[in-house]
Chain A
Amino acid sequence: MNSRARRPPKNAMTPPDKSDPMHVPILKQGPYLIASIQSALTDSDLFQLRDDLVERVGRARSRGVIIDVTVLEVMDSFACRVLRDLVNMIKLRGAEAVIVGIQPEVAFAMVQLGLSLEGAVTALDLEEGLAYLDRQVGGGRGRGR
């Protein structure tokens, strides 16, 4: 994992961020939203991401959402629960959701901890996620609003 080297030391990002959570960039791509996580997230960052995304889905009238977790090296039970909730909330707002980019090591650690993201759709990477949404939503990406 070369991303480990690029990541700032852990103590640099935990306590002070509490009041000012990091915003995960959410990109609009046609009828889809792509939340692209850039670095390890604290618990409050995760809540922030959840709130932002659930809100944006309605505002942008998106048909599908992709949550890209490629850079995450750890997925604990808390993160899994928040992500699963997020997926269910997005579904309630009438959009499809896919989690993409879970790394082999992370996937292995997750099943060992008994975390399986029950009910959430997962795909290999962003490309696969988009292909899945295209199939589900029916229309091509070109027909964006």
Chain B
Amino acid sequence: MAELPDRSLTHKMGLTREEITRRKEFLELDDKDVERLRGLHDLAGQYANAVIEEFYNHLLGFREGREFFRDAAVLERVKVAQKKYFLELTGGSYGESYVESRLQIGLAHERINLPIQLYLGMYNFYLRAIASRFLDAQKAKPAEAFQNFLSVLKLVFFDMGLAIETYIHERESTIVTQQEAIRELSTPVLRLRDRLLIMPIIGVIDSHRASQLTQHLLQRIRTDRAKVVVMDITGVPTVDSAVANHLSQAVQASRLMGATVIVTGLSAEVAQTLVRLGVDLTKVRTVGDLQEGIEEAEQLLGYELARPPAAEKRDDPA
């Protein structure tokens, strides 16, 4: 069954054939169970519709359930998919393609944000429904029925493991993408004039980001031969002693490379917290806002801003 494409979920989530085997071993899901499950296929076919109908009636009895299935057409489609799923439980083939289809189903439910407790609740409902039917079918041999039930139980736990894993996998990959996005966003260093850089910092600064940001800044000081850097922290929501420490490290490292850093945009709250925390930022040059920062930087670089005489005349009608 090696024909699964590389971009299949099974591959993406690193579920190798050995891993699948190992999991089955852990659940003690063996050939005997597979045999029993296969033997149940006809029986399952007889009650599948009834069980699924019962389940959705049960589900729709809850507000959470109703919210997901407002549309009758969707509900019908889901029921068909559900039946296929249900019959696969006794399909007798539990290899890679089985795993893939389980993962796909898990993913579909994650995508529509179905709460995991409803998902697990469904398994519970099925197990109970199946258990009573097994007993009914084999009244004379309850022990046999119980063995059958245990086989189903093993497989269901195997499925549940996969379902939960898709949920976790999806959320984790969201976190990873977001972290990358933050990293990308984190350090724009812009050249405003010859030898003048500005660096608007937006968002939370943690130590990882701070060191990345500092290294990036230092590289740019080198390549742009910057003498002055205006670092604007208006967009940093909270500045505590750790953040202040990171900032002053960036300032000192820049100084070692001969560049002056002007920090702008310390809000009133930030100023209050810093003083209350006793953070010493006296070595850091701070200025009210970005405009003042740039003006001061230009002054340091020896620029003088003047309007051309023509503009002055236009402003002044006298």
Contacts and interface: CB of A to CB of B under 8 A. Distances in A.
Interface string B212-250: 001100110110010100000000000000000000011
B256 interface: yes
Given A108-B215, A108-B253, A123 B222 contact: no
A107 B225 contact: no
B257 interface: yes
Interface in A86-108: 100, 102-108
Contacts of B253: 104, 107-108, 110-111
B218 A128 contact: no
B297 interface: no
A104 B222 contact: yes
Contacts of A103: 222
A112 interface: yes
B142 interface: no
Contacts of B214: 108, 111
Nearest to A109: B253
Contacts of A111: 214, 249-250, 252-253, 256
Interface in A103-126: 103-108, 110-112, 116-117, 122-125
A107 B218 CA distance: 8
A22 to B, nearest CB: 24
A124 B221 contact: yes
B222 A112 contact: no
Counting contact residues on chain A (CB < 8 A from B), the size range is 10 to 19
B115 interface: no
A112 B214 CA distance: 11
B218 A104 contact: yes
B258 interface: yes
Contacts of A112: 211, 249
Contacts, number: 55
Chain A CB within 10 Å, residue with most, of B219, B222, B257: B257
Contacts of A116: 252, 255-256
B33 to A, nearest CB: 58
A117 B283 CA distance: 13
Contacts of B257: 102, 104, 107, 122, 124
Contact of A117 (B218, B225, B256): B256
A27 B260 CA distance: 28
A78 B163 CA distance: 58
Contacts of B252: 111, 116
Contact of B258 (A105, A106, A110, A123): A123
Contact of A124 (B215, B219, B259): B259
Nearest to A110: B256
A145 B254 CA distance: 34
A25 B133 CA distance: 94
Chain A CB within 10 Å, residue with most, of B215, B221, B227, B249: B249
A10 B225 CA distance: 31
B146 to A, nearest CB: 65
Contacts of A102: 256-257
Contact of B219 (A104, A110, A125): A104
B168 to A, nearest CB: 35
Contacts of A108: 211, 214-215, 218, 253
B178 to A, nearest CB: 26
A83 B254 CA distance: 18
Nearest to B249: A111
Contacts of A105: 215, 218
Chain B CB within 10 Å, residue with most, of A107, A117, A122, A128: A107
Interface in B251-278: 252-259
The 3 closest A-B CB pairs, nearest first, are: A104-B218, A123-B258, A124-B258
6 contacts: A100-B258, A104-B215, A105-B215, A107-B257, A108-B215, A122-B257
Interface of B: 211, 214-215, 218-219, 221-222, 225, 227, 249-250, 252-259
